[in-house]
Structure 1
C-alpha cells in the first residue's frame, strides 16, 4: 500500500478489484451485525478539532510541520493545508463532569500548542474559515507534504478532469477557479463522535440529521471566504465545491456530490455503507490484506479496510464510522457540521447542545423524522448555512397535528430544542451545573442574536466604516478575533 500511495498510480484492474473487496467488506459488516459482535452499550464520545496557524499580522502562516515538531505530541497532527493542524481528544464517557473535563483538556492542550507556535511567530486560532486566506494561499504547493493528501488531490482532480469552478452567491459573490483541492483546507471544523450500538444507530443518525440545522444556526462561524462576505457558514458550501469530482454535465444529470447531506432517513447503518458503494466511485482503490469472512471464521475482528477507506472519501455531514478497540468492533456517528471556535467555551457549549439534543430526539416515541420530511431537513440545513442565527427553519408544529411550520431558529432553539437538550444531558447523567453553564451559552447567543459569524461580520463592517480598505479591515478584524479568543469569554459577550 505504501508504494502505491507514494506513487499515486493505479492500474486498470485496481478499481474492479477494490469494488469486489468493498462488497466483501459489506458482507463482513452484515455478518458482524447478524452475529451481534459489536461492543456493548457504552456512552462514549470523542472530539476532533481542526485549527489554523496565523501570524501577529492576522494572515496565515504555512508552518504546520515546524509547529508540530515543537509541540511533539501525538494528540496533534497535520491537516490538509500547511496552515492547518488537528488535535484529537481521547474518548470519554459521556457522563458526570465530562464537559468541564473536556474544556480543561482543550484549554491546556491548545494553550501549550499556541505557546510553541509563538516561538516561530505563529499562533493557533479556531475559526471556520480564516478571513485573510486568499487564492494565492490555497495552491497545491501549500498542501501538507503527506502522501495521502497529495494522492487524494491527484485523484479528485483526475476524476473531475478540469479545474474546479467555485461559485458562491451570498452577501457578496465569489467566483474562483481552483487547480487543486487546496480550498478544502480553508474549511476547519469540529467533529463530534458518539459511539452507538447497531440497533440504536439509525435513530441517532436520523436525530443528528434533524438537529444539524439548529447546530449550524447557533454555531455558524465562517462568514468570509477569499475576502468575500458570503453565507454565515460558508465553510459547508466551499467544502462541497472544493471536493466535487463532478463535471458540470454530471451535476446537471443529478449525480450526487461527495460532500453530502443525504436524501432520506435511514433504517440502519447498512443503508449508509450500501449507498457509499452504490453511488460513489473509488478515489483511493487501495486494497488491504484481510479476507473479512476468513477473519470472522477464525474468531477475529476484520478491519474492513476498504470499506473504512472508501467511507473516509465521502464527506457526509453526519458520517457512519466503523472502528475497533481492544479487538472489539464498534459504530460511531461522526457529526461534522460545526465550524471550529470561537473559544473552547463555545466549542463545549456546541457539543453540549448536540449531545443533549440528539439523545432526546433519538429517544422520542414519535420521532421527528416521522413528522418532518427529509427534504425539509435538507432545506433547513442550507438555510442555516446561509443565514446563521437569523435563519428560519421548518419544524413539526406542537399545535397542529401532522403540520410543519416555519419558525425563527432562535425561537425554536430557546423554546423547544434547549429544553430537549437539557433533558438529554440529564439522561446521559451530565452534572447539572455543567449542563446549565454550557446550554446557557447557547441560550444567550439566541437571546442576543450573536454567534461567531455575526460578530465577524459586524466587526468587519465597523473597520470598513472607520476608513480601512477591505484587506486591512479583514486583517484588523482577524487580529481582534484572535485576541478575544484568548480571553476565553464566549463570543456572545465580546464587545461589538
Structure 2
C-alpha cells in the first residue's frame, strides 16, 4: 500500500533537495547495516490482496469510496489506483504451526464481510488478476481514485514520458492502443507476499525469490484477457510494465531501465537494491520530510528513511525490498509482487505455501541456485511463465529446459516441503496447500486456463462470453474450491 501525499506543485528545488535527502537516507541505511541495527530475531510474513469491484452484471463498478465507507475498517482496507479497486492488508503473522490455515480463514472471513457490505451499495468483490469485462473506456483519468497521490503520480509519469503511454501486447491475439493516463495500470490486481528477514539473510531470500519468479507466475497465472482480447496467460506483467513506463522510445533504445523492473543481477546485500534505485531512477514524487536521517541516527533514534522509502515505492520491482519501522524497531522485507489475485483464497494460500517453502529451501542450499543460473535465464523464465502459463518451458540448473509442470512436480515441490518443515508449518496444512499446487500441475488447470476454456466454450459473442464467465468465476470464487476443480461447462 503506497504512502499518501498531499496535492502540491513540484519545483526544481524540491527535486534537488529530495535527491540530497535520498543520498543521506542511503548513508544512514549503510550505517545501520554495518552496525547491525535491524530486527532479525524472528521471521514473519504478511499479505496484501488487491480486488476489483463489479456491479450485478459483472462489469466494473466505480464505487470504492462508497464500499470502503460501508466496510468501515480503514486499518485493513484501503483504496487502490482506480475507483473499481480496493485492497486488504493482513497483519503480520508467523509461518509456524497452523498459521497459514488461520490466515486463510481470516482472509476468507474478511472478504465475506466486505462483499456483504459492498452489496449494500451495489457492488461485489472479484479477486482476479485482470477483470475480463474491463473496457478501454473504463480506464480514463476520471476513473482514478480520489486520493491526491494517484493524481500526482499520473501527472509525473506522463510529464516524464512526454507523450501518451503505448500498450502493445502480442499474445494469442494482439492489443495495440495508447492511453493518456496511467489508469490502465489499475487493471492489474495482484497478491503480494511479504517475508521479513534479517539483513544477513536478505540477499539469499531475494535471489531465491527472483530465481523462482517464472515458476510462480506460470503456476498462478490468472489474467488472460484485457480489453476483450486474449493475450498472455498472465497479461499483468507486460501491462504493468507498459502502463507505468516513463521512457520515450529513444530512452528505451539508450538502455534506460523501466520502472517496472525484474532487475539485472543477483545481489550480495539489500543495500544493492536501494542504491540501484537511487542511481538509475529519477524521482516521481520528490516530497521531503523534516527528519534528517543521519542526525536521527547520531542521536540514537531510528530514522524512518521517508524519502528513500517513497522513492522505492515508485520503482516496481517484481521482488521489491522494503524498509519499515514498527514500534521503534527497523526491519527489512522481501515483497513478492509477481502473482495475480485469486482465483480463490485457497489457491492464493497454496501459492503462498509454495513460495515461502521454496524460498526457505533455496536460500539455505550449500550451492545456491543463483550461483549456477545466469540472471538472464531467471528473467527469461519470468517472461515465459507469464506468456505461456502452465504450458511454459523454463530453464533450471542441473535439469535444463523442461516443462514448468515437470520441474515443479519432480524437483521444486519436494524442496517446498523441506522449506515449510523448516518454518515449522503443520504437516496437514502443508500437505493440503502444496497438494493444490500438485493437482494444478497434474490437471493443467489454473485461473488462466479456466477463464480461456470457459470463454471458448461459450455459444455467444466475446463480450457476452467474458461477462458470463466473470459472473460464474465470482460465484465459484466464493466457494473457495481450488480452481483446478472447477468444471468448464457451456452456456
Structure 1 residues 306-327: Cα deviation after superposition (integer angstroms, max 9, x where no partner): 0000000000000000001110
Q: In structure 1, what is the Cα distance between the partners aligned to 2:8 and 2:239? A: 25
Counterpart pick for 1:410 among 405, 408, 433: 405
Deviation at 1:41, TM superposition (A): 2.4
Q: In structure 2, what is the Cα distance between the partners aligned to 1:18 and 1:122? A: 41
Residue in 2 that maps onto 1:54 = 54
Deviation at 1:381, TM superposition (A): 0.3
Structure 1 residues 379-428: Cα deviation after superposition (integer angstroms, max 9, x where no partner): 00000000001100000115xxxxxx100000000110000001000000
Question: Is the Cα–Cα contact under 8 Å of residues 52 and 125 in structure 1 kept in the other structure?
Answer: yes
Question: Is the Cα–Cα contact under 8 Å of residues 259 and 315 in structure 2 kept in the other structure?
Answer: yes
Residue in 2 that maps onto 1:402 = none
SS of residue paired to 1:116:
helix
Q: In structure 1, what is the Cα distance between the partners aligned to 2:192 and 2:135? A: 25
Q: Which runs of 5+ in 2 are unaligned?
A: none
Alignment of 1:15-54 (within 5 A): 15-54=15-54
> With structure 1 as the length reference, what TM-score do the two structures score?
0.97
Residue in 1 that maps onto 2:333 = 332
Give the alignment's Cα RMSD to 1 decimal. 0.9
Residue in 2 that maps onto 1:158 = 159
Q: In structure 2, what is the Cα distance between the partners aligned to 1:365 and 1:66? A: 53
Residue in 1 that maps onto 2:483 = 491
Deviation at 1:15, TM superposition (A): 1.1
Q: In structure 2, what is the Cα distance between the partners aligned to 1:50 and 1:250? A: 32
Alignment of 1:359-378 (within 5 A): 359-378=360-379
Residue in 1 that maps onto 2:431 = 436
SS of residue paired to 2:287:
coil
Structure 1 residues 66-108: Cα deviation after superposition (integer angstroms, max 9, x where no partner): 0000000121110001000000000001211011001110010
Q: In structure 1, what is the Cα distance between the partners aligned to 2:114 and 2:197? A: 32
Question: Is the Cα–Cα contact under 8 Å of residues 95 and 430 in structure 1 kept in the other structure?
Answer: yes
Q: In structure 2, what is the Cα distance between the partners aligned to 1:447 and 1:488? A: 20
1:470 is aligned to 2:471: no
For structure 1, which segment, 35-44 or 222-231, has the greater mean C-alpha deviation from structure 2 after superposition?
Answer: 35-44
1:303 is aligned to 2:295: no
Q: In structure 2, what is the Cα distance between the partners aligned to 1:60 and 1:299? A: 50
Residue in 2 that maps onto 1:319 = 320
1:427 is aligned to 2:419: no
Q: In structure 2, what is the Cα distance between the partners aligned to 1:11 and 1:297? A: 30
Q: In structure 1, what is the Cα distance between the partners aligned to 2:55 and 2:190? A: 20
Residue in 1 that maps onto 2:76 = 75
1:461 is aligned to 2:456: yes
Question: Is the Cα–Cα contact under 8 Å of residues 304 and 325 in structure 2 kept in the other structure?
Answer: yes
Question: Is the Cα–Cα contact under 8 Å of residues 7 and 149 in structure 2 kept in the other structure?
Answer: no
Q: In structure 1, what is the Cα distance between the partners aligned to 2:238 and 2:130? A: 12
SS of residue paired to 1:221:
coil
Residue in 1 that maps onto 2:207 = 206
Residue in 1 that maps onto 2:219 = 218
Q: In structure 2, what is the Cα distance between the partners aligned to 1:426 and 1:439? A: 12
Question: Is the Cα–Cα contact under 8 Å of residues 46 and 195 in structure 2 kept in the other structure?
Answer: yes
Structure 1 residues 99-119: Cα deviation after superposition (integer angstroms, max 9, x where no partner): 100111001000000001111
Q: In structure 1, what is the Cα distance between the partners aligned to 2:428 and 2:77? A: 30
Runs of 4+ with >4 A deviation: none
Question: Is the Cα–Cα contact under 8 Å of residues 8 and 154 in structure 1 kept in the other structure?
Answer: no
Structure 1 residues 155-202: Cα deviation after superposition (integer angstroms, max 9, x where no partner): 001101110011000000001210100001000000000001111110
SS of residue paired to 1:13:
helix
Q: In structure 2, what is the Cα distance between the partners aligned to 1:490 and 1:6? A: 42
SS of residue paired to 1:27:
helix
SS of residue paired to 1:112:
helix
Question: Is the Cα–Cα contact under 8 Å of residues 132 and 470 in structure 2 kept in the other structure?
Answer: yes
Structure 1 residues 180-237: Cα deviation after superposition (integer angstroms, max 9, x where no partner): 0000100000000000111111000000000111111110000011111000000011
Q: In structure 1, what is the Cα distance between the partners aligned to 2:8 and 2:300? A: 35
Question: Is the Cα–Cα contact under 8 Å of residues 355 and 425 in structure 1 kept in the other structure?
Answer: yes
Deviation at 1:5, TM superposition (A): 4.7
Q: In structure 2, what is the Cα distance between the partners aligned to 1:57 and 1:453? A: 21
Structure 1 residues 24-60: Cα deviation after superposition (integer angstroms, max 9, x where no partner): 0000000111111000321200000000001221111
Deviation at 1:8, TM superposition (A): 3.5
Alignment of 1:67-146 (within 5 A): 67-73=67-73, 74-146=75-147
Question: Is the Cα–Cα contact under 8 Å of residues 287 and 307 in structure 2 kept in the other structure?
Answer: yes
SS of residue paired to 2:402:
strand
Question: Is the Cα–Cα contact under 8 Å of residues 219 and 452 in structure 1 kept in the other structure?
Answer: yes
Q: Which runs of 5+ in 1 are unaligned?
A: 399-404
SS of residue paired to 1:136:
helix
For structure 1, which segment, 103-112 or 7-16, has the greater mean C-alpha deviation from structure 2 after superposition?
Answer: 7-16
